[in-house]
Structure 1
Amino acid sequence: MSSNQAFESAKQEYEQWGINIDEVFKTLKNIPISIHCWQGDDVGGFEVNRGELSGGIDVTGDYPGKARTPEELRADIEKALSLIPGKHRINLHAIYAETDGQVVERDKLEPKHFEKWVTWAKEHRLGLDFNPTLFSHEKAADGLTLAHPDPEIRQYWIDHCKASRKIGEYFGRELGTPCLTNIWIPDGYKDTPSDRLTPRRRLMEALDEIFAEEIDKNYLVDAVESKLFGIGSEAYVVGSHEFYLSYALKNDVNCLLDTGHYHPTEMVSNKISAMLLFFDQLALHVSRPVRWDSDHVVTFDDELKEIAMEIVRNDALDKVMIGLDFFDASINRVAAWTIGTRNMIKALLFALLLPHCQLKELQENGDFTRRLALLEEFKTYPFGVIWNQYCQEMNVPAKESWLQDVQKYEEQVLSKRS
């Protein structure tokens, strides 16, 4: 059977359940994934005075070919995008500013320091998202930033976040698509604190000051990101899930859920439907924790599929902003981007190929036997054939053939970097 015959046969199987493959492809190609730039250089950034990676973040491995300059990083992203179906976004951290060799403190960053990123994004018709960088800095050396007891240090980070919102607004205005600007801080204590309330009050007041300046939501979408624990903050994190969930609801900002920031048995997929009842929008950083927030490359596992199903079955594709967040230096970095992003798109396709209306009806009628049976049978429907056809229609390699492109790029480009 030829590939076209296999696709037509698979298409008919799904159409028996009222699933129109042409409509599925049309929907899928319009779902942007925000791809994180920091996979390409191990969260290094381009600060003139950059220091060691810190703030509970760790990157393992030393695979050759890491991007050393903004030009190299953008070239690597372009290569990955050529292997990923669809039109997507790029997510930047503040440390990826380009300051022409000048030392510019983070609280003094301006839109002009990201003009080259915007020019590049326009050329490739990409949206940009943004994050202030509140780690890997001498003023965060003790693990505290927006919750710091020293008012001068706290003000430095407040001003950095204010500057970051203006940069995000600049991205949105220039590119014609709102920039998600997300605040994550490493603040916490390694051992059991004697006062949990005061640092959280300081964080709340700092956020109030940061968000005091109103910015047009046509250009900027604000978000705050929680965490359960991290290296150096094993006992207590100031910005917990409960803190940020409450703050976001009260102050009309988005709550961003990072799949690596919870207990290993706590499923982010289970939080999505609950939060959709109370938020107009949600944001995700999809990662893969292995026992802790170790940010492994996203694989096509059960939780990824469940996240996609929760978004699709609840008609929330226009409400949930999907971003990625992993950094693996043990494998080819372009391949890491490609694997992780393709898997996120695969999961969305898998979810779009399920008969959700029928499954919901079975659940409402208490027919749990048939519901479970159908869910299990659809796991072996010819999903792979549909995925391969989608890749072909989007002019990117199908199956594992993209590996040849990465290998060639490694031989011709990455291997020449010292």
Structure 2
Amino acid sequence: MNTGEVIRAYELAKERYAKIGVDTDQVLKELEKIKLSIHCWQGDDVKGFLFPGQELTGGISVSGNYPGKAKTPQQLRQDLSKALSLIPGKHKVQLHAIYADTDEKVDLNELEPRHFTSWVDWAKEEGIGLDFNGTFFSHPKSASGFTLSSPDQKIREFWIEHGRRSRKIAEYFGKELEQQSVNNFWVPDGYKDNPIDKQSPRERLIEALDEIMAEEIDEKYTIEALEGKLFGTGVESFTVGSHEFYMAYALTRGKLWTVDAGHFHPTEDPSDKFSAFLPFGKGLMLHVSRPVRWDSDHVVILDEALIRITQSLVRDQQLDKVNIGLDFFDATINRIAAWVIGSRNTIKGILMGMLAPIEDLKAAELAGDYTKRLAVTEALKTYPIGAVWDYYCVKHNVPLEEDWLADVQHYEKEELFTRN
């Protein structure tokens, strides 16, 4: 489809939406404000560069061995740049501590902002922001299954220092890139079988987190987010950092609560958590993922779960209080394609939420007209969102759905397949 055809299709779609009171031009202006936080670890299967050869632990597993994964920071940044060029809008990238770019032999409790200067230089060139995650897994000092809640004081002190340093790195990102960097904390602590004492590990975790957060840092530059989990491999019976634990911590400490779509019971709806937390909390960090029977981190598709998440953010006017990050890793397919598919689908989901007569539907609901609510929301499913999406892509100089894959396949042949 050429540009003229895209514009003509958009004009027809614009008229169709105008009949139900939706201004598509205004919708696209609002969509341009959305910044996804795209996770770097899809590009190298969560290996990082700090500890070459280190095995994944903490209940994390990546399946598949598709050729071409990034093996150096330079390759990873190159791959991210390619992905970003195929995703409409200006976004952010999430780093983990293990993605430090340095020739020094340095441990997690010794990291400094200077170990990430190449990432900041690259982000400036791309015109994007950076978020951060401390890495509390895949390390000899996490082998016991406990980090910040460990009964061993020396182990705890190591991870507390890592947490402190992660805050300074995120602050550095915020200052250099002039946009707030979200610093996310997830720890895999817990027991495989039923513990006797559930209280003490949580008290130790509270104390450790308070030590990490003791220094006040201007939230203009960085803010902390805390990520809970229902269970993980090896911690099936008891997770120290449960959802309730971190929700309470975030509320009482003025932090963000991280909601990972894969970290709940399969019958739970993560989107239902937003309106329950946000009237009380400072804000949310999302990790948009796709669980299949468990926290398996499949590439995000435009399914009902994603649409419920994005519609909730739009309908309840929560976008300004929520940071939308991605979190999946699939090594069975081209890793750049995985980024592009997941990111574009998330933006499409938000667009779907915006392309609706929300105030009119709320009025109908308030009046008890549930018939209209159901009829209109069902009718919207076949409205011409595709024409609006294509126009948005053209406006942002990125390929349409039928074109971007060819770009990735060319890059795969010329670059990815040449990597040893």
TM range (shorter): over 0.9
Once the two structures are TM-superposed, the CA of residue 117 in structure 1 deviates from its matched residue by 0.3
In structure 2, the partner of 1:168 is 170
Which of 66, 74, 97 pairs up with 1:71? Answer: 74
Match of 2:30 in 1: 27
2:214 maps to 212
Corresponding residue number in structure 1 for 2:241? 239
How many residues align structurally? Answer: 417
Deviates further, 361-370 or 64-73: 361-370
Say whether 1:379 aligns with 2:396.
no
Take 1:190 and 1:118, find their aligned partners in 2: how far apart are those partners? 39
Structure 1 residue aligned with 2:313 = 311
TM-score for both structures, normalised by structure 2: 0.98
For the pair 1:290 / 2:292, whether they are aligned, the reply is yes
- 1:95 equivalent in structure 2: 98
Q: Helix, strand or coil for the counterpart of 1:321?
A: strand
Q: Is the 8 A contact 2:51 2:98 kept in 1?
A: no
Deviates more, 1:317-326 or 1:18-27: 18-27
C-alpha distance in 1 between matches for 2:309 and 2:56: 30
State how 1:273-288 maps to structure 2 within 5 Å: 273-288=275-290
Query: Which 4+ stretches in 1 moved above 4 angstroms?
Result: none
In 2: Cα distance, 1:351 partner to 1:116 partner: 37
Which structure 2 segments of 5+ residues have no match? Answer: none
**Aligned residue among 40, 44, 57 for 2:60:** 57
SS for the counterpart of 1:318 is helix
- Aligned partner letter, 1:9: L
- Partner residue in 1 for 2:13: 10
Q: Residue type of the partner of 1:104?
A: V
SS at match of 2:274: helix
- Counterparts of 2:352 and 2:18 in 1: how far apart (Å)? 14
Shift of 1:2: 4.0
Matched AA of 1:84: I
In 1: Cα distance, 2:13 partner to 2:25 partner = 13
- Could you list the per-position Cα deviations for residues 125-163 of structure 1 after superposition, in whole angstroms to 9, with x for gaps in the alignment? 110000100000000012110010100001100000000
Q: Report the counterpart of residue 45 of structure 1 in structure 2.
A: 48
Distance in structure 1 (CA, Å) of the matches to 2:244 and 2:281: 15
Which amino acid in structure 2 is aligned with residue 412 of structure 1?
E
> How many Å separate the matches in 1 of 2:112 and 2:177?
17
Overall identity of the aligned pairs, in %: 57
TM superposition shift of 1:4: 3.0
Amino acid at match of 2:413: E
| Residue identity opposite 2:303 in structure 1 | D
**What letter is aligned with 1:57?**
I
Partner of 1:392: 394
Distance 1:165 1:193 in 2: 32
Residue 224 of structure 1 aligns to a residue in which SS? strand
Q: Gaps (5+ residues) in structure 1?
A: none
CA contact (8 A) 1:109 1:163 kept: yes
Select 1:363's aligned residue among 365, 382, 388. Answer: 365
- Do the aligned residues in 1 keep the contact of 2:290 with 2:296 (CA within 8 Å)? yes
Counterpart for residue 196 of structure 2: 194
Once residues 66 and 88 of structure 1 are traced to their aligned partners in structure 2, the CA distance between those partners, rounded to angstroms, is: 22
- Tell me, in whole angstroms, the C-alpha distance in 2 between the residues paired with 1:375 and 1:49: 51
Q: Distance in 2 between matches of 1:178 and 1:2?
A: 39
